[in-house]
Chain A
């Protein structure tokens, strides 16, 4: 099967680089699957998992605050943070989740802190589910 080059890049350095058969992820507008030969495209991503399929083997990368850029010969994901499933610190993610939940309980009003806690919770849940591969 044809493959396409995929790289996941963050400000702290490249996270993933490989040739895969299919990239699927969640964009702001909905689920998005990219196969080789896709038309050039840019789309902002949700906090979520990027699934990279190669034969029978699927790899997961947790991404937050990112973009997907598709070019004829390669797909680039630019994210503010990204981790491969094997590199996620599950303990830390669980702690972050608890912290965020606690904060959400404390103040229920609509303000900046609330919004931030919500985002933090989303990121933590995303990391946990990617680490446990329950997607």
Chain B
């Protein structure tokens, strides 16, 4: 049996850990709230731009743009969104596992794909496996604003345009609720499946459809990326919050069982002492 002092120090250290995890839980809860709000604020913009893009891309059959047409696939791009820090439960590993398996199934050599990693965890994962990471971005704010993301998004879209890859998939953790997130796989480029929720309007174009698509499509793709990032930020904080709550609960349980054995050990020590005194006294008589 561990000594009294050992148990005591374990209890103190577990208590300190639980204080930290508790604080982290509360921090994540606040960030999670903000993250969900940001994701909500983005919805009207996304819906609107989707509607307009769909109207133009579907409405005018002659409208042709490189971003709308599929070309023979020589190289596939994967945009993987993870967090910069761990301690978020299975948040990162779920995404990474799925991407890793997909790549292993689809491709035989390193030249057939390119990875764009957002987040330190994802970057380190792919780099340590010697996979082809063409672009990595770390240190994205917890509440990213669109202007922060614009560079990344336009770089990514640019890589598609200049032929670094011929299609682009995006992988991220989709936020469902505070306790459940799901890995989402989306084909981002070429934009083949634009669907509008409402009925299409036929527009006049100023100056013409091609020139509008020229500006609109990159912007649309950028906002898809931004949307995915907001979504995955919300799930990151939700995942971290849940993980930290579990950790706090576990620490509490551990403290309980440790204090029980501490009390037992103390009682045993006292009993033994009494027995010794009584034994000593009896020997004197």
Contacts and interface: CB of A to CB of B under 8 A. Distances in A.
Given A9-B48, A41-B206, A81-B147, 8 more contacts: A11-B42, A13-B45, A40-B203, A65-B219, A67-B215, A78-B49, A80-B146, A80-B150
Interface residues of A, number: 25
B72 interface: no
B201 to A, nearest CB: 5
Which of A13, A29, A70 has the most C-beta atoms of chain B within 10 angstroms of its own C-beta?
Answer: A13
A106 interface: no
A69 to B, nearest CB: 5
Contacts of A70: 203
14 contacts: A9-B48, A12-B41, A13-B41, A13-B42, A28-B211, A41-B203, A43-B205, A44-B212, A67-B52, A67-B215, A67-B219, A69-B52, A78-B48, A78-B49
Contacts of B201: 40, 71
Interface of A: 9-14, 27-29, 32, 39-44, 65, 67, 69-71, 76, 78, 80-81
B212 to A, nearest CB: 6
Contact of B44 (A9, A42, A67, A71): A9
A43 B206 contact: yes
B224 to A, nearest CB: 11
A56 B55 CA distance: 36
Which of B45, B56, B145, B215 has the most C-beta atoms of chain A within 10 angstroms of its own C-beta?
Answer: B45
Interface string B52-77: 10011000000000000000000000
Contacts of A12: 38, 41-42, 145-146
A69 B48 contact: yes
A10 B145 CA distance: 11
Contacts of B212: 42-44, 67
B50 to A, nearest CB: 11
Contacts of B41: 12-14
Nearest to B149: A11
A69 B48 CA distance: 9
Which of B205, B206, B212 has the most C-beta atoms of chain A within 10 angstroms of its own C-beta?
Answer: B206
Interface size class of B (residues with CB under 8 A): 20 to 34
B202 interface: yes
Contact of B45 (A9, A29, A32, A44): A9
Contacts of A40: 201-204
- The secondary-structure label for the interface of chain B is helix
Contacts of B145: 12
B15 to A, nearest CB: 41
A29 B216 contact: no
Interface in B252-267: none
Contacts of B56: 42
B204 A11 contact: no
A69 B202 CA distance: 11
B181 interface: no
Nearest to A39: B204
B78 to A, nearest CB: 23
Contact of B52 (A11, A14, A32, A42): A42
Contacts of A10: 45, 146
Contacts of B216: 44, 67
A27 B206 contact: yes
A102 B166 CA distance: 39
Contacts of B219: 65, 67, 80
Which of B41, B44, B49, B205 has the most C-beta atoms of chain A within 10 angstroms of its own C-beta?
Answer: B44
Nearest to A79: B45
B206 A42 contact: yes
